[in-house]
Amino acid sequence: MACSESLALFISPQDGSFWLRGIDERLLWNTLKSTVSDAFGPLIQGGIDHQNGYEWISLRGFSFGDIPCGLGFCFHFGKLSEMCFNVTLPTAELNRDWPTRATSEREVEFVREQLKTQVNRSFATGVEQFEWGSIWSVFDERGQQASSGLRYRDLS
pLDDT for 118-155, tens place per residue? 999 999 999 999 999 999 999 999 988 999 999 999 86
Three-class DSSP category at 71: strand
When pLDDT is averaged across residues 9-36 and rounded to a whole number, the result is 89
pLDDT value at position 2? 40
Consecutive H or E run containing 37: helix 33-40
Q: Given a cut of 90, is residue 69 above it in pLDDT?
A: yes
Domain count, the chain: 1
Four-residue CA torsion sign, 115, 12, 35, 49? positive
What percentage of the chain exceeds 90 in pLDDT?
71
Residues whose CB falls within 8 Å of the CB of residue 7, separated by 6 or more in sequence, listed in order? 20, 21, 22, 23, 43, 61, 62, 63
Distance CA 147, CA 26 (A): 23
Contact 51, 75 (CB under 8 A): no
Q: Which domain covers residue 103, as residue numbers?
A: 5-152
pLDDT band at 1 (very low <50, low <70, confident <90, very high): very low
When pLDDT is averaged across residues 11-24 and rounded to a whole number, the result is 88
Q: Average per-residue pLDDT in the chain? A: 90
Query: Would you give the DSSP letter of residue 29?
Result: T
The mean-pLDDT minimum among 2-6, 60-64, 101-105, 108-112 falls in 2-6
When pLDDT is averaged across residues 80-96 and rounded to a whole number, the result is 90
Distance CA 152, CA 16 (A): 8
**SS3 readout for 91-119:** CCCEECCEECHHHHHHHHHHHHHHHHHHH
When pLDDT is averaged across residues 24-40 and rounded to a whole number, the result is 89
* pTM score: 0.88
